[in-house]
Structure 1
Amino acid sequence: MLPWIQLDSAAIPGDGGDLRLKQRGAEFSIMLGATELMNSRLKGSEEALATLSWERIKGRSNPTMLIGGLGMGFTLRAALGSLPQDARITVAELVPAVVEWARGPMADIHQGSLDDPRVDIHIGDVGALIRSHTRHYDAILLDVDNGPDGLTRASNDSLYDMAGLNAAKAALRPKGVLAVWSSAPDAAFTRRLRQIGFSAEDVSVRANGKRGGARHTLWFATNT
C-alpha cells in the first residue's frame, strides 16, 4: 500500500491547531491532529447537504446561497450541479490555505468550481458574514468543524448557539433554509432550532452516498 505523504500544513485562526493536507496516490486527506476531518473518497453527505437544500428552495429566481466551509469542494460542486445559472453562491472559508489547496494539489477534485461565474470566495469567518446580512440568503449551508459539537475552534460554537441561530434566521429570506452538516445526531441542537422558530428536520445520510459508509446527520431548518 502506498504511504501517506504530507503536502502542507496551515494554522487555523484562533489557536485552533494546524490542518495537515496529506496524499496517498489519488486520495487526499485533511487532518487535525490524529483526527481526519475530510477524505476525498467520502463525499456523499457533503453532496446531499447541497442537493437536499436545493430541493427545499427550488423554483426561486436568482437564488442566493452561502456555504460555510470549502473543504474539498464537494458541497460546492453539488450546488453548482443543481442551482440555475442565475444563482449566486458565496463560499466562506476561514483558512486561506484550504483555497490554495483547491487551486493547487487538489485542483482535479475541485474541477474548476472556484472559477464558476456564479461563485464568490470569501476568506474569513462565516459567522461574521451571516451577522452582516439581513434577509439576504435563500439558503445557508454550514459544514463547519464537526457540526454543532465542534472540534477545531471553540468560537465555532457561536454558530450553533441561540445567538448564532438567531443571526442565521435573520440572514435568511422568508422560507429560506439553514442546512447543517454533522458527524453525529444532536437532539439538543434540534430543540434549539425549534425554539428559535425554525421548522426543523434531521436527516440521516451515508458518508459515501449509495455506497454506504458511516452515518452523518443533516439538519434542514426552514425560516417560517
Structure 2
Amino acid sequence: MPDVIEPAAETVERREGPYGEVVLRRRGGHFEIIANGCFLMDTSDGRSERLLIRAALDALTGGAATDPAQTDPASTGPTSAGGDRPEPVGGPSVLIGGLGVGFSLAEAAAEPRWGRITVVERERAVVDWHRDGPLAPFSAGALDDPRVDVVERDLLDHLRGAHGAHDALCLDIDNGPDWTVTESNDSLYSPGGLAGCLRALAPEGVLAVWSARPSTRFEDALRAAGFAEVQTIPVPVARGVPDAVHLARRPSGPT
C-alpha cells in the first residue's frame, strides 16, 4: 500500500509574543498550532482533548469516563454548544489550562452541569484566532458563554493565587509532562508545581492532564505530591503510542 502523502502546510499567521514565536498553519482542511518550532496540536482529532473535560466531570459526579475507543472520530470537528446558553449556576467550576484549538472549551461549554469555566491562555494570538479568526468554529462560540472567563496569563502565575478556587483543573499546555513546549513549563510538573495544582483545587477536586503518551513517571509524581486515585486513560491514535489523560484527586482535608 503506497504511503499517504500529506498536503503541504501553509502559514496563516506568525506572531512573536512574550514567550516566543507562535504560528498558525493550515494543512489541507485542518489547522495546526506551532509554538517555538514545536508542533503543539491540530484540529484533525479532538477525542483526547474532549475526554480531558468529560473524564474530570465524570470523576466529580461519580460517572464513568467515556471509553475513547467508542468515540466516533467524525464527531470531533466543530460543534455548536447549541440553543440558549446556560446562565452561570452553582455547578462545579473548571479551569482549562490552554485554549489551544478549542476542543476542550467547546466540550465544557456544551455541558450545562459545569458552573464557572475559566480558560487560562498566555498567548494573545491564540485568543484572537478564536475570537474572530480561523479557529472560531472549533471553539463553537464558547467564548461568548456567560460562564466562560478567559484569562490571558501564564498558567503557573495564575495557579499561585487560586487556592481552593476550582473543582477541576484540566491542563493541556504541552505535549505532556515528559515533553514540554518551553523549558519553563517543566516546573508545572515538578513537586512545587504539582503542589500548586493541589492547592488550587477544592477538597475532592480533580486534576486532569493531557499527554501525548502515558507516563508512569508522572503517575508516581502525582502520588508523591499528595494526590489520590491516580489513573491514566489511554486514547488510541491512528499511528504511534496512544495519547493519554492522567487523572488524580485532591483528598479531603488540609493539604
TM-score scaled to structure 1, two decimals?
0.89
Which residue, 35, 39, 44 being the options, matches 1:41? Answer: 44
Aligned-residue CA RMSD (Å) = 2.0
Q: CA deviation at 1:70?
A: 0.2
Q: Which residue of 2 aligns with 1:9?
A: 14
Deviations 1:72-103 (A, max 9, x none): 11011111223426x00100001100001112
Write the distance in 2 (CA, Å) between the matches of 1:83 and 1:57. Answer: 14
Which residue, 65, 72, 81 being the options, matches 2:101? Answer: 72
Mapping of 1:177-192 within 5 angstroms?
Answer: 177-192=206-221
1:26 maps to a residue whose letter is: G
Give me the identity figure in percent.
Answer: 38
Structure 1 residues without counterparts, runs of 5 or longer: none
1:115 counterpart = 2:150: no
SS of the residue 2:125 aligns to: helix
Structure 2 residues without counterparts, runs of 5 or longer: 1-5, 63-88
Q: Which residue of 1 aligns with 2:234?
A: 204
Write the distance in 2 (CA, Å) between the matches of 1:32 and 1:135. Answer: 31
Q: Which residue of 2 aligns with 1:91?
A: 119
Q: Which residue of 2 aligns with 1:27?
A: 30
Count the aligned residue pairs: 217
Which residue, 38, 55, 59 being the options, matches 1:52? Answer: 55
Which structure shows the bigger proportion of residues in strand conformation?
1
1:219 counterpart = 2:246: yes
Q: CA deviation at 1:33?
A: 5.8
Deviations 1:28-79 (A, max 9, x none): 1112466432111121100000011110112894311101000011011111
Write the distance in 1 (CA, Å) between the matches of 2:135 and 2:212. Answer: 23
Whether the 8 Å contact between 1:72 and 1:109 is mirrored in structure 2 is: yes
Write the distance in 2 (CA, Å) between the matches of 1:22 and 1:99. Answer: 15
Write the distance in 2 (CA, Å) between the matches of 1:185 and 1:24. Answer: 27
TM-score scaled to structure 2, two decimals?
0.79
SS of the residue 1:150 aligns to: coil
Which residue, 111, 128, 131 being the options, matches 1:100? Answer: 128
2:211 maps to a residue whose letter is: S
SS of the residue 2:234 aligns to: strand
